[in-house]
Amino acid sequence: MKKTTASVISIVGPSTRFLSGISYYTIRLCNALAEKSTINAVLFRNMLPKRLFPGWKRVGKTESSVKFSDSVNLAEVLDWYSPFSWAQGAQRIRRSDVVIFEWWTSSVVHMFFALLLLSGRKPRLMIEFHEVVDPLEYAILPLRMYAQVMGRIIRRRAYRFIVHSEHDRQLIASQYRISSAKINVIPLGLFDQYPALDKEQSKSKLGVRGKFILLFFGLIRPYKGVSDLIRAFENLPADILEETVLIIAGEAWEDMESINRIKNSAASDKIILENRYISDDDIPVFFSAADLLVLPYTRASQSGVAHIGIAYGLPILATQVGGLVESLGSYSGTRFTKPGDNDGLTEAMEDLILHSSHERYEPPEEMRWDRIAERFLDEIEKPVKEQT
């Protein structure tokens, strides 16, 4: 394919050592843009002292289901504590026309700052926000102060910002006092790298015998609303509850309240808890077995889990919070409830179970990675003066 006028683009993000949705996003974005531009992937090899990471025991031991394209120039060099590694990364960035920082945590801001200082003023800086402020980080005073000061310095260098919803655009503009004219909305892409498996075989592998399978998937954290989901599930009519199984699959991070509620639930015999990191090999089993994906979040910018569900064509029941309303609004399989409305959540689950046709829905065209790459390149190629 024809290369664009932005001949070299560097993308700075996490490697698969700290495997997460942002790791996958970085890979998919690099691969999509590499179809039309020269791409350098400058990756964090060690993002923070490993012991501070809740899932530190699996760091560097998990396999990714998607790999960087051979056309991407890969440099997994950045270490949280090593100025020498920052200089190595800056060498790649210095030869770029544009650099994109993937922003989802404040813990690596000093590395962003070092890369900017060492690479000079040639590359234009874009910042892509996946999260505004992580609530756990914001609760720690030294980290909050560090993020506020360093983040302000870096954001002043950026000529453009990318978010994934209009809600996040307004939030970023307000939180960081950035002109909304410099913030552009590009949808989150599909996580469609997982195969669809036979439904009955997947249920058998999980030891599930219910006629209808509800799935909550992802890290179990207070804002994910798992406790609300348990309460709503318990209130389903007895005849529906008898035929329904709720699977909660994911690693618990600072949310023992939800774990205890599951264990003590009156419907505990209908709940399967997989409190562990779910590997890429296991993800297709859970999503292939599911009839409905439930996202009862109390707050959210975006959800990579939702975009796995969309790739599988699953119906999704989600709360009307943050960027979810916008990102899932274009997906015909979505139904919304109000956050914290447990009665409404119960009623929606009951209705979806009773009227399920096991239909699979088509993902929106705007979430395809080739479309997303086009949107990024359009933003990159706009003259800087248009949004300053």
pLDDT digits (tens, 9 = 90+) for 337-361: 999 899 999 999 999 999 988 789 9
Domain for residue 24, yes or no?
Answer: yes
Residue 252 DSSP one-character state: B
**Is the same domain home to 222 and 176?**
no
**Is the same domain home to 175 and 253?**
no
Residue 351 has a pLDDT of 96
Domain for residue 194, yes or no?
Answer: no
User: Using CA atoms, how far apart are residues 44 and 60, in angstroms rounded to an integer?
Assistant: 12
User: Using CA atoms, how far apart are residues 292 and 345, in angstroms rounded to an integer?
Assistant: 13
How many CA atoms, within 13 angstroms, populate the side-chain half-sphere of residue 74? 13
pLDDT reading at 386 higher than 50: no
239: domain CATH number is: 3.40.50.2000
Q: How sure is the predictor about 64, in pLDDT bands with cuts at 50, 70 and 90? A: confident
Q: Is 2 exposed, middle or buried (0-12, 13-18, 19+ CB in 10 A)?
A: exposed
Which of 53-62, 86-95, 199-208 is the least confident region? 53-62
**Is the same domain home to 173 and 225?**
no
Domain for residue 95, yes or no?
Answer: yes
**Would you say 315 and 351 are in contact if contact means Cβ atoms under 8 Å apart?**
no
**Is the same domain home to 184 and 233?**
no
Domain for residue 210, yes or no?
Answer: yes
Residue with tokens 């989802």: 104
Domain count, the chain: 2
**Is the same domain home to 231 and 145?**
no
First-to-last CA distance in the chain?
A: 31
Which two tokens mark 40? 């350098």
β-partners of residue 246 are 214, 271
The average pLDDT across 227-245 equals 95
**Would you say 238 and 350 are in contact if contact means Cβ atoms under 8 Å apart?**
no
**Is the same domain home to 220 and 244?**
yes
**Is the same domain home to 343 and 377?**
no
**Is the same domain home to 134 and 259?**
no
pLDDT reading at 49 higher than 70: no
Residue 387 has a pLDDT of 44
Q: What are phi and psi for residue 136, nearest 5 degrees? A: -70, -45
Domain for residue 158, yes or no?
Answer: yes
Residue 145 has a pLDDT of 75
Please write down the HEC assignment for all residues of 224-250. Answer: HCHHHHHHHHHCCCHHHHHCEEEEEEC
Domain for residue 90, yes or no?
Answer: yes
The average pLDDT across 356-378 equals 92
Q: What pLDDT, in 10s, does the model give residues 286-302? A: 999 999 999 999 887 67
**Is the same domain home to 69 and 183?**
yes
DSSP states of 311-365 as a string? HTT--EEEES-TTHHHHHHT-TTEEEE-TT-HHHHHHHHHHHHHT-----PPPPG
**Is the same domain home to 31 and 79?**
yes
**Is the same domain home to 154 and 167?**
yes
Domain for residue 1, yes or no?
Answer: no
**Is the same domain home to 120 and 172?**
yes
Residue 44 DSSP one-character state: E
The 3-state DSSP composition of the chain as helix, strand, coil percent (nearest 5) reads 45, 20, 35
Percent above pLDDT 70 for the chain: 89
Residue 109 has a pLDDT of 83
Which of 133-137, 157-161, 188-192, 199-203 is the least confident region? 133-137
Q: What pLDDT, in 10s, does the model give residues 129-180? A: 987 766 566 666 666 676 677 777 788 888 899 999 888 898 888 888 888 8
Q: Do the strands 212-217 and 316-319 form a parallel or antiparallel pair, or are they unpaired?
A: unpaired
Domain for residue 2, yes or no?
Answer: no
Structural domain of 160: 8-189+368-387
Residue 152 has a pLDDT of 78
Residue 346 has a pLDDT of 97
User: Using CA atoms, how far apart are residues 18 and 223, in angstroms rounded to an integer?
Assistant: 22
Longest dimension (CA), the chain: 67
